[in-house]
């Protein structure tokens, strides 16, 4: 069996190197950036000269790409999977993309005898490097069962959540939850500080109370230190919440909490924080209220 | 030393009985409901015939009351603490009330030589019974230090968070965080179900992902079972978020996430869910989208 | 008959002078600021030395005050109407205040044989000067009918809208409508400018289309000129929308549109625009998006 | 000169018949529905057998279509304008569509020597019939000037608002303003009724106050009568606000007021009011608060 990996960035590169180390198969690698390819070749990957060459040769193709547009191009473009992959190939997309697009691609590939799984990941570049990512998988259960072990070469928690597109729905809802909680924690910290409470004392109390959560902590750690260095940029999180809202639009479900967060993220982008950590939404509140959580905290 | 306890309901009664069992002091008890008094007398409390009698006799007075109005009455009313307690008395309010009211009462009591701590609790009736409540305390550090052990007779986690009113600010922010997360989880579950994903599979994935939290779980447990039996009524949680918004108004801090949740809670009340669990906000989404998370999940 | 007027500011002073000129009765006047009193005395008003003196002597008492707290003090305070006015007096409050407070005051006054009308006004200082204000009146229909002509000495459009408190409910809803429209127009103008459309061309089209309204025009005039000089300060409009939200809270009606506007106004206040025109909410959008509608428009 | 008209529904059919009556040119007509074609042929239009035949023969092509997807098909599809129209043709799209799509189509057509104007209309089927529609036009000023008179054969108020796409931006902002105002008026009426005020009295007062507007009246007329018979369906208005939000997303401008309205419209659709008038958003508030504005008003 030959494995192919397209998209070797901060997420894809780490996943690919873990797969190379553990899957015991030949792994073909492709990326537009030479250094990204080189880093995978060094640990045993084999570079190919084009997407077309990779998709024609691989039995299982993974993609880890920035945006749905990139997925559409690799899956349905002139040199892509639908055009050049052989029947029996399995396509596993690790990108946080659109469920609607996943269903559309899967339907097209099915006609060519190609199965698809949508398998977005959770856990960030550090989880990708450690091989501990969570993966939410949508698609045929048999195909999932047959490839679970392969996915586990680079992930710690691989769950099947339903038919094609379901992995993405779950991922988008998970991110929506995290981002709304970050926005709520932002207004909570600014509210407490404006009401005369030391943010560090608030934080100590929240961490042992019912308001605690991973998302709360990610915000509080950054707001209290004032360091919004991004592992994952606000601009990318904005894409994620946009996809969640697009999904809500398709099924016409009201999402006032997600919409409120979306608007705060646009304000954060407008203020120039798009390349900082997503938790920089707190800086919108800090800016309008002219205070700083970290300062003198 | 004599301890007094006013307000012996689901929260106050449990706290009082733990105090009686562990504090080694005489505990005077008062409530408008005879059965509530009787339950404390049975385990060693001593009933008094009026609020005035209790506040005049006790060295430390605890109150655990439904609403800020009740606190104002006991603290500042004709038969209350300011009127009848002796200098040197310490007043510890366990109610989730308004920080502004706490500051106002404390200032009045100070003139009479009476110290006050605001000490709202977190953990629900079960935590009150088990003696494991979290308590966020505002007020003078010396007074706090002198009474921490007494509070620990009925609580597990007693934290000083700043000057008078700070305990309430922290409590209100903690509850705001929890309720916003419940609203976000509500729209997430309904969105996923409308998009064709089995809520139980979504739930299994969220619980091992970054979107997980205590608040998420409290919502998911109820939405998946369809059982919104309240340990704590939505109408009371609505009072809490109202207090948080009132605080935001005083200090003019924007709180779009809390406001969005507040509106959903009004819809839930309008639909008749005020006596159910606060997580019944999900039923607003279920009602307008004409689906049920629990059904066939 | 003797008329009394308490509160002679930008609104009250103009109304009072119109009443003096047209009502043909003695008009007693009171304000804390000497110049305000003097301006009314000059045109025929008679100054009194205290609120108590005025309320004891007048048959009809008007108040036009900044805030509900001031109304409560004049109506129910030690030197106020309930304490010192004679049975048969009619009290007409022109302040934008709380319907709940109006009902409470009216009930107290009723016991003393004093009738009350709540009669908030619409039209600003220029309308007050021109005598063209709209007045929405709540209270007994007979009392209204008997005093309509007197109110018309300083107003152009005097409407009875229901029992006590109704005038205030209608006024608060009217202002809510105007402020939400201003917020919507703010985001519309910024959206169009960011999308490359000249705000002046947008404006020309909106003014002849279905999106046109008085509130839209008040925003567009200021945003296009960049001149937010206030006839009426954003801080006062903030008080009005706060009263509307407090009312919504009492009757537990969801008001997401008003809440969204309220939050934008808090941001505007945080950014330092509280003393500018209420339409300065557009500056929140301008600030976060780093553009200016007026500039180069 | 030959004029072509594609899309002869409630809007397009009326515009087309006015054009036939007044433009003095041959008008080719096309629609998928025979009756719609027949109604235009009766007054002098000439039916063609396909889109391709029309676009190849016409010098000026108008389209009035339900959705952006339809516009894309007619403009860029295999049988469409880019494929078959001759150089020198002018394409005028009357559909409320996406500015981004308009720019994309215009760029493609430009390469073929075809000019495009985006010219969305305002005023509803009655305005289309009366020939009094407002038209907001984007595109080259010379092309606009040369075709203004032709557009005026079916419209009363034709304004040039900027380069290609600008007409749509202005239209979307206009509709955003109207729909937000409808939502605000909805919550205002329900709030007043819940606070004990007769909606008819509120309405009489608002119509002579600063809260008045066309959008307010469209809501109030329907809410007071309880008759939501649609001239224009809520589902179509939902498409419009979706397009406005999509535009906001492209330029990353926060639109909390539009987003709030969008969510209420989703609730209205979920409750089954998609085919009623867009003002049926008030029924969301009526449903959750269990009251009816019209009833006993």
Tell me which residue in A238, A249, A269 faces D242 most closely, judged by beta carbons: A249
The DSSP code sequence of C141-181 is HHHHHHHHHHHTTSEEEEEEEESTTHHHHHHHHHHHHHHHH
pLDDT of amino acid D264: 98
Distance from CA of B244 to the nearest CA of C (A): 13
SS3 C171: helix
Q: What pLDDT sits at residue C297?
A: 44
CB A291 within 8 A of CB A190: yes
Q: What's the distance, Cα to Cα, between the start and end of chain D in Å?
A: 57
Nearest to C201 among D161, D187, D212 (CB): D161
Of A192, A244, A263, the CB nearest to B170: A192
Nearest to D257 among C176, C187, C189 (CB): C187
Beta-bridge mates of residue A121: A135
Look up residue C289 and give its two tokens.
Answer: 């998006």
CB–CB of B259 and C256 under 8 A? yes
CA contacts within 13 A on the Cβ side of C293: 31
CB contact under 8 A, B201 and A161: yes
The C-alpha atoms of residue D50 and residue D78 are separated, in whole angstroms, by 12
Report residue D91 as tokens.
Answer: 């394409």
Q: Rounded to two decimals, what is the model's pTM?
A: 0.95
Catalogue the active-site residues of A.
Answer: 171
Q: Are A144 and A138 in contact (CB under 8 A)?
A: no
B203 closest CA partner among A211, A213, A161, A157:
A161
Question: Residue D137's beta-bridge partner residues?
Answer: D160
A260/chain D closest Cα distance in angstroms = 7
Residue C275 φ/ψ, nearest 5 degrees: -95, 0
Q: Residue C292 pLDDT > 60, yes or no?
A: yes
Contact A50, A163 (CB under 8 A): no
| Candidate from D253, D259, D267 with C-beta closest to A259 | D259
Tell me if A91 sits within 8 A of A117, measured CB to CB.
Answer: yes
Predicted local distance difference test score (pLDDT) of residue C188: 98
Cα separation, B230 vs C76, in Å, equals 41
Residue A201's closest CA among B164, B146, B166, B106? B166
In which element (H, E) is residue D4 found?
strand D2-6
Catalytic option among D42, D112, D171, D239 = D171
B-chain residues near A173 (CB < 8 A):
188-189, 191-192, 202, 206, 211
Q: Is the per-residue pLDDT at D91 higher than 70?
A: yes
pLDDT for residue D296: 59
Rounded to whole angstroms, the Cα distance separating C26 from C5 reads 11
Q: What is the pLDDT of residues D275-293, one digit of tens each?
A: 999 999 999 999 999 999 9
Determine the residue of chain A that is closest to B248 in CA distance.
A191
Residues of chain B contacting A202 with CB distance shorter than 8 Å:
161, 169-170, 173
β pairing state of B26-30 and B46-47 = parallel
Report pLDDT for A296. Answer: 60
Q: Do D259 and A264 touch (CB under 8 A)?
A: no
Q: Is D67 a catalytic residue?
A: no
CB contact under 8 A, C259 and B264: no
Instruction: Output the six-digit token pair for C153.
Output: 């000495």
Residue B213 sits at the vertex; the CA angle it makes with B209 and B217, to the nearest 5 degrees, is 100
CB contact under 8 A, D263 and A249: no
CB spacing of C260 vs D263 below 8 angstroms:
no
Q: Do B173 and A165 touch (CB under 8 A)?
A: no
Distance from CA of D21 to the nearest CA of C (A): 25
A contact test, residue of B136, B144, B191, B207 with most A CBs within 10 A: B191
Contact C259 B259 (CB under 8 A): yes
Percent of chain C with pLDDT over 90: 94
Give SS3 for B5: strand
- Which residues of C are part of the catalytic machinery? 171
| D220: nearest Cα among D287, D277, D259 | D277
Strand partners, A62: A5, A92
Structure tokens at D224: 């007071």
Using CB atoms, list chains with 3+ pairs below 8 Å to chain C. Answer: A, B, D
Residues of chain B in contact with residue A285, where contact means CB-CB under 8 angstroms, are 253-254
Residues of chain A contacting C256 with CB distance shorter than 8 Å: 256
* Local confidence band at D297 (pLDDT 50, 70, 90 cut-offs): very low
B41-to-B17, B50, B126, C274, D223 alpha-carbon distances in Å: 9, 15, 21, 56, 58
Residues of chain A with a CB closer than 8 angstroms to some CB in chain D: 238, 242, 248-249, 252-256, 259-260, 262-264, 266-267, 269-270
The nearest CA of chain A is from the CA of C186 a distance in Å of 14
Within 10 A of D265 (CB to CB), how many other CB atoms are there?
Answer: 28
Contacts of B271 in chain D (CB under 8 A): 288, 290
Half-sphere exposure of B287 (CA within 13 A, CB side): 19
Nearest chain B residue (CA) to C260: B256
Within D31-98, residue ranges assigned H as helices are 34-41, 51-57, 68-76, 81-84
- Confidence category of residue C223, pLDDT binned at 50, 70, 90: very high
3-state secondary structure of C45: coil
Asked whether the CA dihedral C57, C60, C63, C69 is positive or negative, the reply is positive
Nearest chain A CA: its distance from C264 CA (Å): 10
Q: What secondary structure does DSSP assign to A62-100, as a single string?
A: EE--SSHHHHHHHHHSTTSHHHHPPTT-EEEE-S---HH
Nearest to B253 by CA among D256, A187, A206, A223: A187
Residue B136 φ then ψ, to 5°: -105, 115
Cβ contact D40:D20 at 8 Å: yes
pLDDT at B231: 78
User: What is the per-residue pLDDT for A133?
Assistant: 92
Closest partner CB to D290 (pick from B270, B288, B289): B270
> In this structure, are residues C94 and C119 in contact, taking their beta carbons and an 8 Å threshold?
yes
* The pLDDT of residue D145 is above 60: yes
Residues of chain C whose beta carbon is less than 8 angstroms from a beta carbon of chain B are: 238, 242, 248-249, 252-256, 259-260, 262-264, 266-267, 269-270
Cβ–Cβ below 8 Å for B270 and D289: yes
Contacts of D212 in chain C (CB under 8 A): 213-214
ipTM attached to this prediction? 0.95
Helix (H, G, I), strand (E, B) or coil at A24: coil
CB contact under 8 A, A254 and D248: no
**Residue from the list B178, B202, B213 with its beta carbon closest to the beta carbon of A161:** B202
Residue among A256, A271, A290 whose CB faces C288 most closely: A271
Q: How many CB pairs under 8 A join C and D?
A: 249
Q: What would the two tokens of residue A23 be?
A: 């899957």
User: Which mean pLDDT values do the consecutive 10-residue runs of chain B (297 residues) have?
Assistant: 96 96 96 96 97 97 96 96 97 97 98 98 88 95 98 95 98 97 98 97 94 96 95 91 96 97 98 97 97 81
* Residue-level pLDDT at B297: 44
* Residue spans of chain A under pLDDT 50: 297
How high is the mean pLDDT of chain A? Answer: 96
pLDDT > 90? residue D230: no
Neighbours of B202 (CB within 10 A): 29
Say if CB A208 and CB B279 are below 8 A apart. Answer: no
Match 């945080």 to its residue by tokens. C270
**Alpha-carbon gap, residue B177 to B192, rounded angstroms:** 22
- Residue D296 makes CB contacts below 8 A (sequence gap 6+) with none
pLDDT at A72: 97
- Taking CA–CA distances from C291, the nearest residue in chain A reads A270
Q: Which residue of C has its CA nearest to B251?
A: C266
End-to-end Cα, chain C, rounded Å: 57
Q: Which residues does B contribute to its contact with D (CB < 8 Å)?
A: 256, 266-267, 270-272, 284, 287-290
Whole-angstrom distance, CA of residue B194 vs CA of residue D269: 14
Mean pLDDT of chain D: 96
Contact state of A270 with C288 under an 8 Å Cβ cutoff = yes
């Amino acid at each position: 069996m030959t494995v192919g990996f397209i998209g070797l960035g901060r997420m894809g590169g780490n996943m690919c190197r873990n797969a190379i180390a553990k899957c015991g198969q030949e792994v073909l690698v492709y990326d537009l950036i030479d250094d990204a390819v080189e880093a995978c070749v060094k640990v045993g990957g084999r570079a190919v000269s084009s997407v077309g060459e990779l998709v024609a040769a691989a039995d299982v193709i993974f993609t880890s790409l920035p945006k749905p547009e990139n997925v559409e191009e690799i899956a349905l473009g002139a040199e892509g999977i639908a055009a050049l992959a052989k029947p029996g190939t399995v396509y596993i997309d690790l990108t946080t993309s659109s469920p609607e697009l996943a269903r559309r691609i899967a339907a097209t590939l099915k006609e060519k005898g190609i199965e698809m799984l949508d398998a977005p990941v959770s856990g960030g570049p550090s989880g990708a490097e450690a091989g501990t990512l969570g993966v939410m998988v949508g698609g045929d259960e048999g195909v999932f069962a047959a490839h679970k072990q392969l996915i586990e070469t680079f992930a710690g928690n691989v769950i099947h959540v339903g038919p094609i597109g379901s992995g993405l729905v779950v991922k988008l809802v998970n991110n929506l939850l995290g981002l709304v909680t970050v926005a709520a924690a932002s207004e909570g910290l600014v509210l407490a500080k404006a009401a005369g409470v030391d943010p560090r004392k608030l934080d100590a109390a929240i961490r042992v109370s019912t308001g605690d959560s991973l998302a709360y902590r990610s915000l509080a750690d950054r707001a209290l230190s004032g360091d919004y260095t991004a592992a994952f940029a606000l601009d990318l999180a904005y894409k994620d919440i946009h996809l969640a809202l697009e999904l809500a639009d398709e099924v016409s479900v009201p999402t006032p909490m997600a919409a409120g967060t979306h608007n705060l993220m646009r304000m954060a982008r407008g203020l120039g924080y798009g390349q900082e950590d997503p938790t920089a939404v707190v800086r919108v509140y800090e800016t309008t209220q002219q205070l700083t959580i970290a300062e003198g905290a």
